[in-house]
Amino acid sequence: MAKARSKGEAAQQAGRDPPVVILVAPQLGENIGMTARAMLNFGLDEMRLVRPRDAWPNAAAEAAAAGAERIVDSARRFESTAEAVADLGYVLAATARVRGMTKRVITPRRAGRKLRECARASVRGGILFGPEASGLANDEVALADAIVQVPANPTFHSLNLAQAVLVVAYEWFAAGATGPEETVTLPRTRLANKAELLGLFEHLEHVLDASGFLGIEGKRPIMVRNLRNLFQRAGLSEQEVRTLRGVITTLVRWRAPEC
Amino acid sequence: MAKARSKGEAAQQAGRDPPVVILVAPQLGENIGMTARAMLNFGLDEMRLVRPRDAWPNAAAEAAAAGAERIVDSARRFESTAEAVADLGYVLAATARVRGMTKRVITPRRAGRKLRECARASVRGGILFGPEASGLANDEVALADAIVQVPANPTFHSLNLAQAVLVVAYEWFAAGATGPEETVTLPRTRLANKAELLGLFEHLEHVLDASGFLGIEGKRPIMVRNLRNLFQRAGLSEQEVRTLRGVITTLVRWRAPEC
């Protein structure tokens, strides 16, 4: 187990060189800034720009980056897509439409895993995104190893630039996540152990026997089982077991006013 | 196979009742509109609002919805979160911070699958999102079955409301996708069959034998194997095989000018 973990950690370390996001002919500075924020949320930090429409550096991009300015500030500008991808070994083209060419098309999920595999193999990856209105041209798609297409509602597919980047960046991040898909937060406490649960069950059953609740002929075993099962299912913390025992004790002592 | 498919289709049909998105005390109309767009991209179409800050209906929400107006127009307003979730059977609370309570925390990926499972079992699902600045209050989180937390860069976690909704909605949609993670587009053509590939290989090897390229002592078998492997790997279409044979024929006929 220890060995498997350290192997996993080494792989994660090697997989830390994230793919580059290449914006081809982006129009609005605001979208460049929002893209930078989307990237940084999911650990991507290198942006390249191919012929941005407006002058670069761009104040609107800077303003929209709000916290991710360093990505905007360090973004390199290129004259052509070919130059922008020259040093990369694996390039994806993000496009909603699939054009008249024979081309591999992958989901963002597979893209995230492929880009992680590249990073682990020290192959620098990149993802091309086209201009807001028109998307990538066929000649740019031809430079890519595959198309990455975000699956979406066939009758309403209108992700903006930063949203498309967000989904692909999210999948890159998720593909590197090593934690469980489900955890339980236990602030200042721990899950109750079985002895504590049994203590609760017996406390409850004792007062229910004494008060007559479990006295119905032949029903006691199934009622006990159902009650135990219900509390078992709640995944109680040790603190919650104590709270419930306090609830029982209080209710037993209290006599409801007759009304 | 036919039976499995029709069973899958039936399950998909039953799973079409998508979860409700509940915005608790949203502040900006623009964010409500952008959330509607994010939802519709991934097939969610019911929004509920708990005490929106500004008057409802809201012109800014309408404007930002740009194409998803019907979600905004049909959004119901509630006075309390408890009322907004009353008819739901499974509720998630989207929050970046995990509070001081014992609570199940799941990833968006698991959330997407859980919400699909609910839909298939005719249990109506919902996801609670808190106000832009402060997020959900603990009393609202306590109404949920689990917390859904978007995994993100620990040093820069600043998804806005519509982006958080986008990620969860994307996972709902992805959990229902039945297509392959990888396909190849083949417009007006098909993948070449092995006979066509062999035709190409033999054509190429014939001219390379004749021109002396494969004449190096003992090297022919490995060079032939490498060339065949390279073209095999490209996954050529029938059209591309014909193009390559045209390329070979043209090059053979042409004599480069000496210079």
CA–CA dist A48, A41 (Å, integer) = 17
Number of domains comprising chain B: 2
Q: Does residue B100 form part of some domain?
A: yes
Domain C-terminal end among B145, B175, B205: B175
Same domain, A40 and A136: yes
Give the three-state DSSP class for A218: coil
Same domain, B212 and B163: no
Same domain, B102 and B201: no
Answer yes or no: do A170 and B167 touch at CB < 8 A.
yes
Contact in structure between A139 and A8 (CB atoms under 8 Å) = no
Same domain, B171 and B233: no
Hey, of B16, B99, B156, which one would you mutate to test binding to chain A, going by the most A CBs within 10 A of its CB?
A: B156
Residue B119: closest CA among B87, B82, B89, B80:
B89
Using CB atoms and an 8 Å cut-off, which of residues 68-97 of chain B contact chain A?
A: 68
Nearest to B107 among A110, A181, A189 (CB): A181
Q: Which residue in chain B is spatially nearest to A155 when comparing CA positions?
A: B41
A250 touches chain B (CB under 8 A): no
Which residue is listed with tokens 């919650």? A240
A151 touches chain B (CB under 8 A): yes
Q: Does residue A39 form part of some domain?
A: yes
- ipTM, interface predicted TM-score of the complex: 0.86
B185 touches chain A (CB under 8 A): yes
Same domain, A214 and A129: no
Q: Range with the lowest mean pLDDT among A54-68, A181-195, B82-96?
A: A181-195
CA–CA dist A112, A165 (Å, integer) = 12
Contact in structure between B181 and B227 (CB atoms under 8 Å) = no
Q: Does residue B160 form part of some domain?
A: yes
Q: How many angstroms separate the CA of residue A232 from the nearest CA in chain B?
A: 15
Q: Does residue B189 form part of some domain?
A: no
Same domain, A32 and A117: yes
Model's pTM, two decimal places? 0.86
Same domain, A61 and A103: yes
Q: Which residue in chain B is spatially nearest to A178 when comparing CA positions?
A: B151
Residue B106: closest CA among B62, B136, B151:
B151
Q: Does residue A258 form part of some domain?
A: no
Which domain, by its residues, includes A230? Answer: 194-253
Domain C-terminal end among A175, A207, A232: A175
Q: Does residue B43 form part of some domain?
A: yes
Same domain, A84 and A169: yes
Q: Does residue A231 form part of some domain?
A: yes
Which residue is listed with tokens 């006691």? A220
Domain C-terminal end among A144, A175, A206: A175
Same domain, B12 and B71: yes
CA–CA dist A2, A25 (Å, integer) = 48
Same domain, A247 and A159: no
Contacts B68 to A, Cβ<8 Å: 156
Same domain, A34 and A140: yes
Cβ partners under 8 Å of residue B240, min gap 6 = A102, B189, B192, B234
A109 touches chain B (CB under 8 A): yes
CA–CA dist A198, A82 (Å, integer) = 68
Contact in structure between B147 and B95 (CB atoms under 8 Å) = yes
Hey, of B35, B150, B157, B185, which one would you mutate to test binding to chain A, going by the most A CBs within 10 A of its CB?
A: B185
CA–CA dist A237, A226 (Å, integer) = 20
- CB burial of B134-152 (b: ≥16 within 10 Å; e: otherwise) equals ebbeeebbebbbbbbbbbb
A142 touches chain B (CB under 8 A): no
Q: Does residue A188 form part of some domain?
A: no
Same domain, A133 and A219: no
CATH number at A207 reads 1.10.8
Answer yes or no: do B102 and A181 touch at CB < 8 A.
no
Hey, of A30, A31, A42, A102, which one would you mutate to test binding to chain B, going by the most B CBs within 10 A of its CB?
A: A102
A104 touches chain B (CB under 8 A): yes
CATH number at B83 reads 3.40.1280.10
pLDDT in tens, chain B (259 residues): 334 444 444 444 444 689 999 999 999 999 999 999 999 999 999 999 999 999 999 999 999 999 999 999 999 999 999 999 999 999 999 998 777 788 899 999 999 999 999 999 999 999 999 999 899 999 999 999 999 999 999 999 989 999 999 999 999 999 998 889 999 888 888 999 999 999 999 999 999 999 999 988 889 999 999 999 999 988 899 999 999 999 999 998 887 777 6
DSSP characters over B116-164: HHHHHTT--EEEEE--TTT---HHHHTTSSEEE-----TT-----HHHH
CA–CA dist A162, A180 (Å, integer) = 28
Nearest to B152 among A104, A173, A179 (CB): A173
